[in-house]
Every structure is written in C-alpha cells, then in structure tokens.
Amino acid sequence: MIDHEKFLSETLRDIKPSGIRKFFDLLADMGDVTALTVGQPDFVTPWHIREAAIDSLERGHTYYTSNSGLPELRGEVCKYMKRRFELDYSADEVLITVGGSEAIDVAIRALTNPGDEVIIPMPSFVCYEPIARMAGAVPVIINTKEENGFKLTAEELSAAITERTKLLVLPYPNNPTGAILEKSELQALAAVIRDRDIAILSDEIYAELTYGKRHVSIASIDGMRERTVIASGFSKAYAMTGWRLGYLCGPSVWLKQMTKLHQYAIMCAPTMSQFAAVEALKNGDGDIAEMTAEYDRRRTVIYEGLQEIGLPVMMPEGAFYIYPYIGGFGLTSEEFCERLLKEEKCAIVPGTAFGECGEGYARISYAYSVRHIEEALEKIKRFVEKIK
C-alpha cells in the first residue's frame, strides 16, 4: 500500500478545509429544517434566458467557443459595463470564465509571484485566501470592523501595505456582511494605492444587488482602471448559478495572460451557457429590477425581525445577506448555530466560516420567500428568548 498523502501537493494539504464542514454535515443529517444558509438566488433563471440556451442546442451549437468566449457575448459584456456602471471596456479586455470563481482564481494566479502579498479584507467569501496560497502568494488579512460598517478603510489599507504588497482584493458588495463601498470611500482607498505598484481584484459578483444606491466600481475612480481587474458573473444578477458563467474585465495585457491560463485549464466556458448569457445581457435588465425589488422587500423583513428579537445588526446595503451579532449569550458562533439547528431546526451560518473575525456573528441569507424568512425569525426568536 503506498502512502497516498505523500503524493499530494504540500501547499494544498496545508490549506485548512472549510471550518464549518462539521456544521454542514450536521445540517445534512437533520432533514427538514428551516434554512437561511444558501448563497444563491431562489429564483429560477428567467425563461427567456433558459429558452436561448435551448435554442442554441436546437441549432446545434455544441462546440467549443473561442477560448476567451463568444465574440458576441464579450461585446455584450462591454455594452453592459458601460450601460450599468459607466465603464469602458473593449472586447479584448474581456474573458468569459466558468463562474466568478474561476475568474477570481485566474486573476489571482496571473497577478502574483511566490512571496507576493495579497491583501484580503475579511469577513469575506472563502476562496481568496486558499487561491492565493496555491499561487504561493502570502495572504495578508485585514479584519474589517463593525463600527466601520465592515468597510475597508484607507487607514487599515495603509497599515497593511508593505514593499511586497502586489494585489488588493476588494470584495464589495460583500458576502457575508452586505456592506458596499460608496464613491467617496473608494476614492479614499484609491488615494492610498494611486502612487504604488499595487493591482486590484474587484470582486463585483453582487454589483447588481444593491438597495437604494447604485454600485460604483473602483475601476471608475480616477487612475484605478489601469490597475484593476473586475471579476463578475451571471449567477447572482440573473439567478444563473448552475450555468457556471462569469467574466473578467481588465487591461488587455493582463487579460491576454489570464486567457492563457484559462485556455490550458478550461478551454472555454460552456457554450450553451454563453448563448443564454447573451440573451440575459440583451434583455435581462427588467429581470434584475424585479428580483432586486423582491430581495429589497425581504431585506426589510429580516432586518426588522432581527431588531425586534434584539440582535444587534447593521442594515445591509448589498448582496442578499445580513450579519447579526450573536455573541452576547456566552456561546461561540458555532455553538449558537448548532444549538439553533438542533433545538429549533433553523439553520444559519456561523460567522467563523468567513474568517476568524466572524466569531460573534452569523450570516443569514435572505434569498428565501418572505413566508420562509418569517418562519425562521419565529424560531430564532424562540431560541434567543430561551438562552438569554
């Protein structure tokens, strides 16, 4: 019998598995629970978008597309970036990827050398740190603070920058906190990096899901476009998670190298998904408006419900998560969530899933019907009254 372990990449082996595996295993064993855990829309992809994929299959478009994606799709991405966010990109500055996840992976690997430091604000989505580590880069974590609305501040950024800093990840609108960065806040960050050789990976997958305020991209701030690569995709905006389709927009010299990486690892994003995405970008603005209005309604229901229960919480301004403080009961986040699950059959995600700084918090997804959210709120309320 050979020792399978010793064949594995040491870097990979040293990457910690997701800290909440145990919680999810427990959840899977529980059967019928009221869950507010998932990170994807509950809406089915709008029919006209699904139909476009079916149509492409009927017409026999079952081949690879070009590595960088259908020219028509890249063209539509450019129009979309202009229309929605006032950003100018040309087709050679766009790469179609397998979801926002691949976009992030490709961008980090293409922009770092071993030993380069990658600044990652946390709490945030779980993938940046392991991907940076796989690239041999050194993650530098900034724990954002609730008193700043979980927004990365210019002071925090300045303090984290060293000679080795190569890349800043900007995960806004933020999963799990729902924080967004407004123009003035982006300008303050821009002032810190303007005269330095630091690139920005702006993860804008939730760009369409902001409430009351339109998303502003760091790339639209003076001097930032030339150093920014935007990772985004169709999953959240158009309820297309299962289609696995995203994209990168950035300087063509970078995109050319990123395309090389994508070409060797992936070939091209799924063809039928790309045809669906063309339809989404051409005729999907109305779908976004409808879905956003619905999330907005749920946001209010969950926010007011949590306030009524007495959990300190910030009104989220983007994505579809809310991030209450649950640390006031002498329980760790994981203990709180485990007991809530066992005792009330209600599931929310411990904040520690999004970094150590998530201790004391929980992420609640409101990508669920209002009825479902209200049912969960009743359970949380009962539980909190019992333990306080």
Q: Which is nearer to another protein, 157 or 346 (CB)?
A: 346
Q: What are phi and psi of 172, to 5 degrees?
A: -135, 140
Residues 6 or more apart whose CB falls under 8 angstroms from that of 374 comprise 301, 305
Binder of another protein out of 213, 293, 308, 343 (CB under 8 A): 293
User: In this structure, what token pair is assigned to residue 102?
Assistant: 């691949």
Name the E strands within the chain: 34-35, 94-97, 117-122, 138-143, 165-170, 199-203, 228-233, 246-249, 321-322, 346-347, 349-350, 362-365
Q: Please identify which residue in 220, 263, 300, 332 interacts with another protein, judged by CB under 8 A.
A: 300
**Stretch binding another protein (CB under 8 A), from 55-63, 246-254, 289-297, 332-340:** 289-297
- φ and ψ at residue 221, rounded to 5 degrees: -85, 140
Site for another protein in 92-131 (CB under 8 A): 126
Rounded distance, CA 13 to CA 48, Å?
44
Binder among 91, 198, 301, 315 for another protein (CB under 8 A): 301
* 20 versus 73: smaller Cβ distance to another protein: 20
- Find the shortest distance in angstroms from Cβ 340 to another protein: 15
Give the footprint of another protein on residues 241-270 (CB under 8 A). Answer: none
User: How many CB atoms lie under 10 A from the CB of residue 11?
Assistant: 12
Q: Does 37 bind another protein (CB under 8 A)?
A: yes
Closer by beta carbon to another protein, 128 or else 354: 354
Residue 377 within binding range of another protein, rule CB under 8 A: no
Structure tokens at 293: 């209005």
Q: Count of residues for the chain? A: 388
**Residue 73 in the binding site for another protein (CB under 8 A):** no
Which amino acid, 219?
A
CB of 125 to another protein, least distance (A): 8
Site for another protein in 207-246 (CB under 8 A): none
Minimum CB separation of residue 375 from another protein in Å reads 13
| Residue 104 identity | I
Looking at 145, 164, 196, 297, which residue binds another protein (CB under 8 A)? 297
Strands 228-233, 199-203: pairing kind: parallel
Asked whether position 42 contacts another protein by CB under 8 A, the answer is yes
* Spatial distance between the Cα atoms of 381 and 355, rounded to a whole number of angstroms: 26
Segment contacting another protein (CB under 8 A): 71-79, 250-258, 273-281, 294-302? 294-302
CB-based contacts of 142, cutoff 8 Å, min separation 6: 119, 120, 121, 122, 152, 156, 157, 160
Q: Please tell me whether residue 38 binds another protein under the rule CB under 8 A.
A: yes
Q: If DSSP codes are grouped into helix, strand and coil, which group holds residue 142?
A: strand
Minimum CB–partner distance for residue 137 and another protein (Å):
23
| In the complex, minimum distance from the CB of residue 363 to another protein, in angstroms, rounded to a whole number | 8
Among 40, 187, 252, 263, binds another protein (CB under 8 A): 40
Size of the site for another protein (CB under 8 A): 23
Q: How many CB atoms lie within 10 A of CB 209?
A: 26
Q: Pick from 363, 364, 380, 383: which binds another protein (CB under 8 A)?
A: 363
The answer to whether 302 contacts another protein (rule: CB under 8 A) is no
Site track 11-30 with another protein (rule: CB under 8 A), x = hit: -------x-x---x--xx--
DSSP output for 16-32? PPPTTHHHHHHHHHH-S
378 burial (CB, 10 Å; 0-12 / 13-18 / 19+) is: middle
| Complex with another protein: residue 40 or 332, whichever CB lies closer | 40
Contact flag: residue 285 with another protein (CB under 8 A): no
Question: SS3 helix, strand, coil % of the chain, rounded to 5?
Answer: 50, 15, 35
- Considering only residues 325 through 354, tell me which ones interact with another protein, judged by CB under 8 A: 347, 349, 353-354
- Site of interaction with another protein (CB under 8 A): 18, 20, 24, 27-28, 35, 37-40, 42, 126, 293, 296-297, 300-301, 347, 349, 353-354, 363, 370
